[in-house]
Chains A and B, each alone.
Chain A
Amino acid sequence: MTPYVVLSAILFAVGAVGLLVRRDPLVMIMSIEIMWNAANLLIVAAARFYGTVSGQALVFLVITLAAADVAIGLAIVMHVARRGEAVDVDALKELKG
């Protein structure tokens, strides 16, 4: 069990750091994917460890959600790119209060 937990933690940290330090939205989406999958890994490992299938069912749900997340994220990125603006999240701050 322990190696899976460690690997999952490392993957999650990689994803989080990537999300925070990169300004390219494509890379940020990929970082989020890594975090999703870190969580998935932990869930299936736990399901296996406890001998239940509910964790595997939950992972399927997470995978579909992650797909939806990527679809919407990529659509936004495409639109930003088509408007001819720099694809840089720090430049995209019109929605500030």
Chain B
Amino acid sequence: MALLAAPLVMALVLAWIRLPRSVVVGLANAAVAIAFIGALLLRHGDTVVGTWLLSVPIGFQVDTISQTFALVTTGVGLLIHAYSAAYMAHDRDLSRYFAGLNFFIAAMLLLVLADGPVLLLIGWAGVGFASYLLIGFWYERPAAVAAARKAFLINTAGDVSLMLAIALMVTSTGQTTYSGIFAGHVPAVAVAWLLFFAAAAKSAQIPLHTWLPDAMEGPTPVSALIHAATMVTAGVYLLLRFHPVLAAAPSAAEGIAILGGASCLLAGLMAIAQRDIKRVLAFSTMSQVGYMFMAAAVGLGAAALSHVVTHAFFKALLFMGAGVVMHALGGDERDLYKMGGLRQKLPATSAAMGVAALAISGFPLMSGYFSKDAILESLLANGHPWLWALGVVTAGLTALYIFRMYFLAFWGKPRTQPSHGESWLSFRWPMAVLALLAIVGGVFVRPFAWFSLTSGATLVLGLAGFIIAYRLYALRGPVGDAWLDGEVGSLLRSEFGFDAIYQALIVRPGAAIAALIAAGDPAATGGLATGISRSAAAFAEWLRGWQSGLVRTYALTILVGAVLALLWVAVR
């Protein structure tokens, strides 16, 4: 299990030992490279390592799903590490950064390679913790700390849900391995919904998606890692892994697929109205993961898995491109309205982003074309026309929002002059590799019909989205957003009010209860505690009066006591 140990050990080393900066970068990259090679060499099968406390056997399981996830995590993770070396080169906490990154990879590998839900839960919680560390990496920024806390709290809600699901499965079957649990009988509907809430928290699906856009406060390579290689795909993994449970509860699976479709569509709509380049990408991820959820929930595992892979390629590329743009504009400029015309100064980045945009919007023969259409076609073929329709409409929205972002950032007149260009080599080669993969990544996808009703529909809607984006934004820039000033636009800009609803329903009542407790606590608990201590002190004060220091008083007391004791014995 060298692939698991390398990043984990390196995370511990980097967290506790102070090393020169170049050594830190080299070691962190080497650890992920080792993990990647290990993932390539994985043989399918089970390895039981030993028995854990409470006699839970711990072991690892390798099959197509876990190997695919392990390869994506380490492969894309390696490219992100290489990119980070340049992106974070001037950060003073380089070691802490790479420790977090390596830990993230290790936790994700544990999650996907576990052979039972107990070990999976450890990886699951580790991924949540790693995301907390990295989203809040720049801890001097209040927004980053708040975002990290929000992500952690929502993820913890998911963790609780997963724990309940595991408890139900383990108690109803008495088994702690996947094969044992799936052989037994579990309360499928309850478990399926609990699993969905866990997956929704991790994968930022409605109704637990609100942490994802805020998580953009973290360093950009971290966003790439969360969105492409690790965190958000963990929810898809959960649905794929527990597919037998979902299959046993068709109504729950259908409901989960509908919620996934809702995330897919609504996130596509929300992405259109964002000004922050990274928030566009965040909602885009949510939308694409919605596709995966639809497919995974109704049992189309192969299609979902292929979209996980291709999405990792182009989404990592999009984030890396956004990182270069932010870097060129002086560090942390994320406002699309202040960009524009960047393709002259950043030609390679512009080309890479263009490739990624084409791939995500499903341009024919790019990777996204194959995987997205694989999902949609199997949805249609398996009798889910409504989900298919949602997906096709979202395909059009995808082209619209991604090219809106692309044109606003790279076309039109420059609204801010870049302070420096895309000079660093290590920015470029990971992006070049990913661009190549985003183009040809379709080879990993199970072959399907090259042309069909689905691909025709997505092509037409995608072209429509592209043309609208071109007409509105390519030349006119932010003026093209004028149509968003109406009521529809404000609804989109408020992101359908999810945050406001949660604020009103959960955060404010919670804060009110906390305030009430804070006010009542000194009186109640504090009063009890001080009351006990005061009465003890008073008793001691009374008692010390007896110790007068006068020997003759003591003698008299003893005498009286003895006489009284004798009298009592005599009377009795």
Structural contact, A93 and B549, CB atoms closer than 8 A? yes
Decide if A97 is an interface residue (CB 8 Å cutoff).
yes
Q: Say which one of B217-225, B249-257, B478-486, B551-559 lies at the interface with A.
A: B551-559
Decide if B547 is an interface residue (CB 8 Å cutoff).
yes
Query: Which of these, B544, B545, B547, B552, contacts A20 with CB under 8 Å?
Result: B552
Q: Chain A 54-97 against B: per-residue CB contact (8 Å), 1 yes, 0 no?
A: 00000000000000000000000000000000000110111111
Please report the number of residue pairs spanning A and B whose Cβ atoms sit closer than 8 angstroms. 33
Decide if A19 is an interface residue (CB 8 Å cutoff).
yes
Decide if A41 is an interface residue (CB 8 Å cutoff).
no
Decide if A9 is an interface residue (CB 8 Å cutoff).
no
CB interface residues, B 531-550, toward A, < 8 Å: 543-550
Given the known inter-chain contacts A16-B559, A20-B559, please indicate yes or no for A96 contacting B552, CB distance below 8 A: no
Structural contact, A97 and B550, CB atoms closer than 8 A? no
Structural contact, B550 and A90, CB atoms closer than 8 A? yes
In whole angstroms, what is the CA distance A93 to B544 when docked? Answer: 14
Query: Which of these, A16, A23, A92, A97, contacts B547 with CB under 8 Å?
Result: A97
Q: Chain A 16-28 against B: per-residue CB contact (8 Å), 1 yes, 0 no?
A: 1001100100001
Q: Which residue of A lies closest to B540 (CB)?
A: A97
Structural contact, B551 and A92, CB atoms closer than 8 A? yes
Q: Inside 8 A of A16's CB, which chain B residues have their CB?
A: 559
For B, the interface residue count at a CB cutoff of 8 angstroms equals 13
Nearest CB of chain A from residue B326's CB, rounded to whole Å: 74
Structural contact, A90 and B552, CB atoms closer than 8 A? yes
Nearest CB of chain A from residue B251's CB, rounded to whole Å: 77
In whole angstroms, what is the CA distance A28 to B497 when docked? Answer: 92
CB interface residues, A 23-42, toward B, < 8 Å: 23, 28
In whole angstroms, what is the CA distance A95 to B550 when docked? Answer: 9
Structural contact, A93 and B555, CB atoms closer than 8 A? no
| Main SS at interface, chain A | loop
Interface size class of A (residues with CB under 8 A): 10 to 19
Structural contact, B547 and A19, CB atoms closer than 8 A? no
Q: Which residue of A lies closest to B559 (CB)?
A: A16
Q: Inside 8 A of A20's CB, which chain B residues have their CB?
A: 552, 555-556, 559
Query: Which of these, A19, A90, A95, A97, contacts B555 with CB under 8 Å?
Result: A19
Q: Inside 8 A of B546's CB, which chain A residues have their CB?
A: 97
Q: Inside 8 A of A89's CB, which chain B residues have their CB?
A: 550-552
Q: Inside 8 A of B543's CB, which chain A residues have their CB?
A: 97
Structural contact, A96 and B547, CB atoms closer than 8 A? yes
In whole angstroms, what is the CA distance A23 to B555 when docked? Answer: 12
Q: Inside 8 A of B551's CB, which chain A residues have their CB?
A: 28, 89, 92
In whole angstroms, what is the CA distance A95 to B562 when docked? Answer: 24
Q: Inside 8 A of A23's CB, which chain B residues have their CB?
A: 552
Q: Which residue of A lies closest to B550 (CB)?
A: A93
Q: Inside 8 A of B548's CB, which chain A residues have their CB?
A: 93, 96-97
Most chain A CB inside 10 Å of its own CB: which residue of B543, B544, B555, B559: B555
Q: Which residue of B lies closest to A94 (CB)?
A: B549
Q: Which residue of B lies closest to A21 (CB)?
A: B552
In whole angstroms, what is the CA distance A90 to B554 when docked? Answer: 11
Q: Which residue of B lies closest to A17 (CB)?
A: B559
Q: Which residue of B lies closest to A23 (CB)?
A: B552
Q: Which residue of B lies closest to A95 (CB)?
A: B549
Structural contact, B550 and A19, CB atoms closer than 8 A? no
Most chain A CB inside 10 Å of its own CB: which residue of B543, B545, B549, B556: B549
Structural contact, A97 and B544, CB atoms closer than 8 A? yes
Query: Which of these, B545, B549, B552, contacts A19 with CB under 8 Å?
Result: B552
Q: Inside 8 A of A19's CB, which chain B residues have their CB?
A: 552, 555
Q: Inside 8 A of A90's CB, which chain B residues have their CB?
A: 550, 552
In whole angstroms, what is the CA distance A51 to B237 when docked? Answer: 95
In whole angstroms, what is the CA distance A97 to B541 when docked? Answer: 9
Q: Inside 8 A of A92's CB, which chain B residues have their CB?
A: 549, 551
Q: Which residue of B lies closest to A25 (CB)?
A: B551
Nearest CB of chain B from residue A90's CB, rounded to whole Å: 6
Report 25 cross-chain contacts, Cβ distance below 8 Å, ordered by A residue.
Answer: A19-B552, A20-B552, A20-B555, A20-B556, A20-B559, A28-B551, A89-B552, A90-B550, A90-B552, A92-B549, A93-B548, A93-B549, A93-B550, A95-B547, A95-B549, A96-B547, A96-B548, A96-B549, A96-B550, A97-B543, A97-B544, A97-B546, A97-B547, A97-B548, A97-B549
Query: Given A89-B552, A97-B543, 5 other A-B contacts at CB below 8 A?
Result: A89-B550, A93-B550, A95-B547, A95-B549, A97-B548
